[in-house]
Homo-oligomer: A and B are copies of this chain.
Amino acid sequence: MAEKPPQPTMDTIVSLCRRRGFVFPSSEIYGGLGSTFDYGHYGVLLKTNIRNQWLRAMVQERDDMVALDSAIILNPRVWEASGHVAGFNDPLVDCRTCKLRFRADKLDDAACGRKPSKRPGETPDCDLTDSRQFNLMFETHVGALQDGSSSAYLRPETAQGIFINFKNVLQIARRKPPFGIAQTGKSFRNEITPGNFLFRVREFEQMEMEFFVPPDDAPRWHEYWIAERLAWYRGLGLRDENLRVREHDEQERSHYSSATSDIEYRYPIGWQELEGVANRGSYDLTQHTDHSGTKLEYVGPDGERYTPHVIEPAVSIERIFVALLVDAYDEEVVAERKRVVLRLHPLVAPVKAAILPLVPRDEGMASRARTLYEELRRHHVVEHDDSGQIGRRYRRQDEIGTPWAFTIDEQTLEDETVTVRDRDSLAQERLPISGVREWLDEALQQDSPSPRSR
């Protein structure tokens, strides 16, 4: 086994995210709202890149996939059929003394509100209620219906929006199994104990894909998707030693699943689920057929007819976000000064390149930097920075993971070349300013993962 490089702590990542404006605690001026976060500029860019890479690999580069974007508030009968109204519960206990709430099945990991070194129930003060079932769906009321207000739910997963559109896609997109429907979007879970930064939050952005296959082919496709998704994470630069696949045992599996494997990542809090790849069998299509009276099945040209089985790779952008930052974070000493560097894959790096005039008050450098910046930003997310001394500007870019910096210096004024500095190796080379755009295009192309074989 390869030696595991030292990992940053979660606090280190939280602090970097705050300092450089990736992530802020939400509603901070009002005292926050437990485990809710707002994303700043670089956070938005990183999230956008993760989403785009997923859509590119899952939809754009495949011909067996279509995209979907279903509503967050669906007809509530969807959640009766799916089993969420009856069964999407966590067991909950309250402590009448400290007023905290705990998951009854996770008391071992919880801390007493008065004596955090003890777990709830371990101190004489603790006065725990009996455990009761707590439904994790957020409920709301759609008010303007004919018969007064009607209960509805914020979706706890995007998957059901896909199942209820199965027939639409089959008919209109002219598909037959095997084919998939992919969706990204916000989901909401009223977690009793959110925490660990972005790891468990009440609103999160899922990226789910439901792959519909002939029943007999399900085990094979399950294996295929586990391998495919693992390869995708490797393609984004996550290190092998921080990734593993773990099969759920029977007790762990959800009611709908006949087999689930987690792709786990070694987070600072330990090995945890990054992505789940489940074989949902025919559970969902059968449930919706029974509840809606609409047959959700495939009928072939020769009259063959079956309810497809479903393989589902499901992940949240937030967990990838944290994994990428943890994996990329590095500290090293260069020229006797510590630098923090995010060694992010160029495809996910928030900013692709920085354009830096060495002496900003020099008009020749300033105008060339400006012209180059305005050319590049039409095609890529780039930054122009002319404030502070050059070393400090490099460090700023290192800390947000910018792969390359183009510096306009004295020599530029003589021969119209610039230096390009590599974030990781710190190597510098010169190239003609007129060739920078093509150089950057190619550098980003080379890093594109090649299309997967099928």
Which residues on the B side are within 8 Å of A34 (C-beta)? 142, 145
Q: Is A154 an interface residue (CB 8 A)?
A: yes
Expressed in whole angstroms, the Cα–Cα distance for A379 and B190 within the complex equals 39
Q: Which residues of B contact A140 (CB under 8 A)?
A: 138-140, 154
Tell me whether A430 is interfacial, beta carbon within 8 Å: no
Which among B92, B143, B190, B378 is the interface contact of A134 at CB below 8 angstroms? B143
CB distance from A293 to the nearest CB of B (A): 8
Chain B CB count within 10 A is highest, among A45, A172, A384, for A172
**In this assembly, does A75 line the interface, its C-beta being within 8 Å of a C-beta of chain B?**
yes
| Copies of this polypeptide in the complex | 2
Complex CA gap A373/B60 in Å reads: 11
Chain B residues in 8 Å Cβ range of A139: 140-141
Q: Is the CB of B292 within 8 A of A142?
A: no
A203 to B70, CA, bound (A): 11
Contact check, A202 vs B142: say whether CB atoms are below 8 A apart.
yes
Bound state CA distance, A444 and B173, in angstroms?
Answer: 26
Q: Which residue of B has the minimal Cβ distance to A293?
A: B29
Q: A63–B145 contact, CB under 8 A?
A: no
CA distance A38 to B73 in the complex (A): 11
Interface residues of A in 33-57 (CB under 8 A from B): 33-34, 36-41, 43-45, 47-48, 55
In the complex the two chains form, is B68's CB within 8 Å of A377's CB? no
Q: How far apart sit A77 and B24, CA to CA, in the bound complex (Å)?
A: 18
A74 near B: Cβ within 8 Å? yes
- Who on chain B is nearest to A66 by CB? B41
Q: Are B142 and A38 in contact (CB under 8 A)?
A: no
In the assembled complex, A100 has its CB within 8 A of some CB on chain B: yes
Query: A55: shortest Cβ distance to chain B, in Å?
Result: 8
Residues of A within 8 A of B (CB): 19-21, 24, 26-34, 36-41, 43-45, 47-48, 55, 60-61, 63, 66-75, 77-78, 92, 99-101, 134, 138-147, 152, 154, 161, 164-165, 167-169, 172-174, 186, 188, 190-194, 202-203, 288, 291-294, 296, 373-374, 377-378, 381, 384, 387, 448, 451
> 24 interchain pairs (CB within 8 A)?
A26-B75, A27-B77, A28-B164, A28-B168, A29-B292, A30-B164, A31-B75, A32-B75, A33-B142, A34-B142, A37-B71, A38-B70, A40-B66, A40-B67, A41-B68, A41-B169, A139-B141, A140-B140, A140-B154, A144-B191, A144-B192, A154-B154, A174-B387, A378-B448
Q: Which 9 A-B pairs have the closest CB atoms?
A: A27-B75, A44-B67, A29-B292, A21-B172, A39-B69, A41-B66, A38-B70, A30-B75, A29-B294
Told that A24-B165, A40-B68, A72-B188 touch, could you supply 18 new A-B pairs with CB distance under 8 A?
Answer: A27-B75, A29-B292, A29-B296, A30-B78, A33-B74, A37-B71, A38-B161, A38-B165, A41-B169, A47-B69, A60-B377, A73-B188, A101-B144, A101-B145, A138-B141, A140-B140, A141-B190, A143-B192
